[in-house]
Amino acid sequence: MSSADEPVLLTERSGSVLTLTLNRPHRKNAVTRELWAALRDVFRQVTYGNDVRAVILTGAGGSFCSGADISDAAGVDEFPDPSKEMLAINEAVQQLHDLPVPTLAKVRGVAAGAGLNLALGCDLVVATPDARFCEIFTRRALSLDCGGSWLLPKLVGLQQAKRLAMLAEMIGAEEARSLGLVTWVKPDEAIDGFADELAAGLAAGPPKALAQTKSLLNDGTDRTMREALAGEARAQAINLSGADVIEAFAAFAEKRAPVFTGAWGTGG
């Protein structure tokens, strides 16, 4: 169990990979205002920094995140202004969505409500067989937040999204994978190594091309073909202005693995 003196968010660097661990295991990592603020601060650093090239998001103590901590407000008289509260939460959720680096959610145990939507806000999700997922909001007389209303229909289709959101069913990892909420299911003893290897591989990729690819895919479902083609053209112009294109072609010609840096250079 974490103590009051421990940070609510743990950060660990391994090369260019940053692992973020929600650290409130005594509450199954339920999110508080303090934890949202910590996430916002780190996401901002990743966005404007240039040395982190992949992010893993996970939870401490065998759970990913049980949702918002409804005990965070001391009492009715101290309950925060909902509109202001949601603005602060939405800032963190939007920053996660907009991160210019690949993100991977590593899920053990429960991912519910805000916790599930934090996982779905990552580009990829890997879970253990015992992981459980629930859009729990209607059980609390609430509607979807943390991006769930945008993410769910795109991942599972409108009808399944309505099922998950309206019934607030708890589903297992294999069903979540079959629906498209989870990318891989890995044994508990293998998930850490799998996530680390995957993140390291993503971090070794061409950062500008990965950032442009992520942005195009995130925006593509809301665009016409004409808009998508225009976006792709702008993205390729950015890619062709970087040194990684030169490196990729040189590595191909020399029959070696490329070393991508994300540096600007003269492409062609």
Q: Quickly count: other Cβ atoms within 10 Å of residue 78's Cβ.
A: 8
Q: What is the pLDDT of residue 1?
A: 46
Lowest mean pLDDT, pick from 1-5, 193-197, 204-208, 255-259 = 1-5
Average pLDDT over residues 79-103: 87
Query: Quick check: 207 pLDDT over 60?
Result: yes
Give 8-61 pLDDT, tens digit per residue: 999 999 999 999 999 999 999 999 999 999 999 999 999 987 799 999 999 999
Let me know: does 133 contact 108? Beta carbons within 8 Å: no
267 pLDDT band (50/70/90 cuts)? very low
Residues 6+ apart with CB under 8 A from 106: 56, 57, 58, 64, 126, 127, 191, 192, 195
Query: Quick check: 102 pLDDT over 70?
Result: yes
Distance (Å, rounded) from C-alpha 16 to C-alpha 261? 11
73 pLDDT band (50/70/90 cuts)? low
Let me know: does 160 contact 179? Beta carbons within 8 Å: yes
Domains and CATH numbers, the chain: 9-203 (3.90.226.10), 207-254 (1.10.12)
Q: What is the pLDDT of residue 268?
A: 44
Distance (Å, rounded) from C-alpha 264 to C-alpha 247? 11
265 pLDDT band (50/70/90 cuts)? confident
Let me know: does 22 contact 60? Beta carbons within 8 Å: yes
Average pLDDT over residues 250-254: 92
Average pLDDT over residues 3-7: 77
Distance (Å, rounded) from C-alpha 117 to C-alpha 119? 5
Average pLDDT over residues 113-128: 97
Cα distances (Å, whole numbers) of residue 80 to 44, 95, 115, 136, 138: 24, 22, 20, 21, 21
Longest distance between any two alpha carbons in the chain, whole Å: 69
Q: What is the pLDDT of residue 222?
A: 81
Question: For residue 211, which phi and psi values (nearest 5 degrees)?
Answer: -65, -45
Q: What is the pLDDT of residue 74?
A: 44
232 pLDDT band (50/70/90 cuts)? confident
Q: Per mean pLDDT, which of 12-21, 86-95, 224-233, 249-258 is the most reliable?
A: 12-21
The separation between CA 190 and the C-alpha centre of its own chain, rounded to angstroms, equals 20
More confident residue, 222 or 250: 250
Distance (Å, rounded) from C-alpha 230 to C-alpha 147? 26
More confident residue, 77 or 232: 232
Average pLDDT over residues 134-158: 93
Give the three-state DSSP class for 187: coil
